[in-house]
Protein backbone atom coordinates (compact mmCIF):
# COMPACT_ATOMS: atom_id res chain seq x y z
CA UNK A 1 0.00 0.00 0.00
CA UNK A 2 1.36 3.43 -0.97
CA UNK A 3 1.78 5.64 2.09
CA UNK A 4 -0.61 8.58 2.09
CA UNK A 5 1.48 11.54 0.98
CA UNK A 6 -0.34 14.84 0.67
CA UNK A 7 2.64 17.13 0.06
CA UNK A 8 5.68 16.21 -1.97
CA UNK A 9 8.47 18.13 -3.69
CA UNK A 10 9.23 15.52 -6.35
CA UNK A 11 6.57 14.33 -8.73
CA UNK A 12 7.08 11.91 -11.60
CA UNK A 13 4.39 11.97 -14.29
CA UNK A 14 3.84 8.60 -15.94
CA UNK A 15 4.68 5.06 -14.83
CA UNK A 16 6.17 3.89 -18.11
CA UNK A 17 9.73 2.79 -18.64
CA UNK A 18 11.10 6.25 -17.82
CA UNK A 19 8.92 6.91 -14.78
CA UNK A 20 9.66 3.55 -13.16
CA UNK A 21 13.40 3.96 -13.76
CA UNK A 22 13.29 7.46 -12.28
CA UNK A 23 11.35 6.24 -9.25
CA UNK A 24 13.90 3.50 -8.66
CA UNK A 25 16.73 6.06 -8.64
CA UNK A 26 14.80 8.41 -6.34
CA UNK A 27 14.03 5.52 -3.98
CA UNK A 28 17.70 4.52 -3.83
CA UNK A 29 18.61 8.15 -3.07
CA UNK A 30 15.93 8.19 -0.34
CA UNK A 31 14.09 11.09 -2.00
CA UNK A 32 10.35 11.13 -1.16
CA UNK A 33 8.30 11.25 -4.35
CA UNK A 34 5.11 10.16 -6.05
CA UNK A 35 4.56 8.72 -9.50
CA UNK A 36 1.24 9.74 -11.05
CA UNK A 37 -0.11 7.37 -13.70
CA UNK A 38 -3.35 8.01 -15.56
CA UNK A 39 -3.86 4.44 -16.79
CA UNK A 40 -1.65 1.67 -15.41
CA UNK A 41 2.02 0.79 -15.13
CA UNK A 42 3.48 0.36 -18.63
CA UNK A 43 -0.02 0.59 -20.09
CA UNK A 44 1.39 1.92 -23.35
CA UNK A 45 3.00 -1.49 -23.88
CA UNK A 46 -0.31 -3.29 -23.33
CA UNK A 47 -2.72 -1.20 -25.36
CA UNK A 48 -0.61 1.20 -27.42
CA UNK A 49 1.23 -1.41 -29.48
CA UNK A 50 0.18 -3.96 -32.04
CA UNK A 51 -0.49 -7.45 -30.63
CA UNK A 52 2.49 -9.20 -32.17
CA UNK A 53 5.09 -6.69 -30.92
CA UNK A 54 8.18 -8.07 -29.24
CA UNK A 55 11.04 -6.02 -27.81
CA UNK A 56 13.39 -5.01 -30.58
CA UNK A 57 16.46 -5.91 -28.54
CA UNK A 58 17.35 -9.23 -26.92
CA UNK A 59 16.38 -9.82 -23.28
CA UNK A 60 19.95 -9.43 -22.02
CA UNK A 61 19.92 -5.88 -23.39
CA UNK A 62 16.32 -4.61 -22.99
CA UNK A 63 16.06 -4.83 -19.23
CA UNK A 64 16.57 -2.86 -16.06
CA UNK A 65 19.59 -3.48 -13.84
CA UNK A 66 19.24 -6.36 -11.37
CA UNK A 67 16.22 -8.13 -12.88
CA UNK A 68 16.19 -10.60 -15.73
CA UNK A 69 13.11 -11.75 -17.69
CA UNK A 70 11.89 -14.89 -15.92
CA UNK A 71 10.60 -16.78 -18.95
CA UNK A 72 12.82 -15.54 -21.78
CA UNK A 73 16.46 -16.53 -22.25
CA UNK A 74 19.09 -13.80 -22.64
CA UNK A 75 19.01 -13.98 -26.44
CA UNK A 76 15.21 -14.13 -26.72
CA UNK A 77 12.90 -11.27 -27.71
CA UNK A 78 10.28 -10.55 -25.07
CA UNK A 79 6.61 -10.20 -26.10
CA UNK A 80 5.00 -6.87 -25.26
CA UNK A 81 2.72 -8.23 -22.49
CA UNK A 82 5.71 -9.73 -20.73
CA UNK A 83 7.56 -6.42 -21.07
CA UNK A 84 4.61 -4.68 -19.37
CA UNK A 85 4.46 -7.37 -16.64
CA UNK A 86 8.19 -6.97 -16.14
CA UNK A 87 7.90 -3.22 -15.53
CA UNK A 88 5.02 -3.81 -13.09
CA UNK A 89 7.06 -6.47 -11.24
CA UNK A 90 10.07 -4.16 -11.17
CA UNK A 91 7.96 -1.36 -9.67
CA UNK A 92 6.62 -3.78 -7.05
CA UNK A 93 10.16 -4.85 -6.14
CA UNK A 94 11.01 -1.51 -4.63
CA UNK A 95 7.40 -0.60 -3.81
CA UNK A 96 7.27 2.32 -6.25
CA UNK A 97 4.82 4.93 -4.94
CA UNK A 98 2.54 4.86 -7.99
CA UNK A 99 -0.90 6.48 -7.78
C1 LIG B 1 6.57 0.26 -31.87
C2 LIG B 1 7.54 0.53 -30.75
C3 LIG B 1 8.47 -0.45 -30.39
C4 LIG B 1 9.37 -0.22 -29.35
N5 LIG B 1 10.23 -1.20 -29.02
C6 LIG B 1 11.05 -1.04 -27.98
C7 LIG B 1 11.91 -2.08 -27.54
O8 LIG B 1 11.93 -3.16 -28.13
N9 LIG B 1 12.72 -1.87 -26.50
C10 LIG B 1 12.73 -0.68 -25.85
O11 LIG B 1 13.48 -0.53 -24.89
N12 LIG B 1 11.93 0.33 -26.23
C13 LIG B 1 11.10 0.18 -27.27
N14 LIG B 1 10.29 1.19 -27.67
C15 LIG B 1 10.40 2.44 -27.02
C16 LIG B 1 9.68 2.42 -25.71
O17 LIG B 1 8.35 1.95 -25.82
C18 LIG B 1 9.64 3.81 -25.26
O19 LIG B 1 10.90 4.40 -25.37
C20 LIG B 1 9.25 3.83 -23.81
O21 LIG B 1 8.01 3.21 -23.61
C22 LIG B 1 9.19 5.22 -23.36
O23 LIG B 1 8.91 5.16 -22.01
P24 LIG B 1 8.24 6.36 -21.31
O25 LIG B 1 8.13 5.98 -19.87
O26 LIG B 1 8.96 7.63 -21.65
O27 LIG B 1 6.83 6.49 -22.02
P28 LIG B 1 5.57 5.52 -22.00
O29 LIG B 1 5.95 4.09 -21.93
O30 LIG B 1 4.71 5.98 -23.11
O31 LIG B 1 4.89 5.86 -20.61
C32 LIG B 1 4.30 7.12 -20.34
C33 LIG B 1 3.28 6.89 -19.24
O34 LIG B 1 2.83 8.16 -18.81
C35 LIG B 1 1.42 8.11 -18.61
N36 LIG B 1 0.95 9.48 -18.75
C37 LIG B 1 1.03 10.28 -19.83
N38 LIG B 1 0.53 11.49 -19.57
C39 LIG B 1 0.11 11.45 -18.27
C40 LIG B 1 -0.50 12.40 -17.41
N41 LIG B 1 -0.79 13.63 -17.83
N42 LIG B 1 -0.78 12.04 -16.13
C43 LIG B 1 -0.48 10.79 -15.69
N44 LIG B 1 0.11 9.84 -16.47
C45 LIG B 1 0.39 10.17 -17.74
C46 LIG B 1 0.91 7.15 -19.68
O47 LIG B 1 -0.30 6.56 -19.32
C48 LIG B 1 2.05 6.12 -19.72
O49 LIG B 1 1.83 5.03 -18.86
C50 LIG B 1 9.36 1.01 -28.68
C51 LIG B 1 8.42 1.99 -29.03
C52 LIG B 1 7.51 1.76 -30.05
C53 LIG B 1 6.50 2.82 -30.42
Whether residue 3 is predicted with pLDDT greater than 80 in this model: the reply is no
* Index of the ligand 1 atom closest to the CA of residue 18: 25
CB 59 within 8 A of CB 68: yes
Write the DSSP symbol of residue 88. Answer: H
Distance 14 CA to ligand 1 centre (A): 9
Give me the chain's average pLDDT, please: 93
How many distinct structural domains can be found in the chain? Answer: 1
Pocket, ligand 1, Cβ cutoff 6 A: 13-19, 36-39, 43-44, 49, 53, 55-57, 62
Say if 98 falls within a structural domain. Answer: no
Say if 46 falls within a structural domain. Answer: yes
Say if 33 falls within a structural domain. Answer: yes
- Between residues 7 and 98, the one the model is more confident about: 98
State the residue range of the domain holding 19: 11-93
Q: What is the dihedral of CA 36, 55, 46, 1, to 10 degrees?
A: -40
% of the chain exceeding 90 in pLDDT: 88
pLDDT for res 96:
97
Distance 45 CA to ligand 1 centre (A): 7
* Index of the ligand 1 atom closest to the CA of residue 54: 8
Helix (H, G, I), strand (E, B) or coil at 4: coil
Amino acid sequence: MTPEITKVDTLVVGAGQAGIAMSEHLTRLDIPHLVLEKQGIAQAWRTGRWDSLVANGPAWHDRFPGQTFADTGPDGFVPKERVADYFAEYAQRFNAPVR
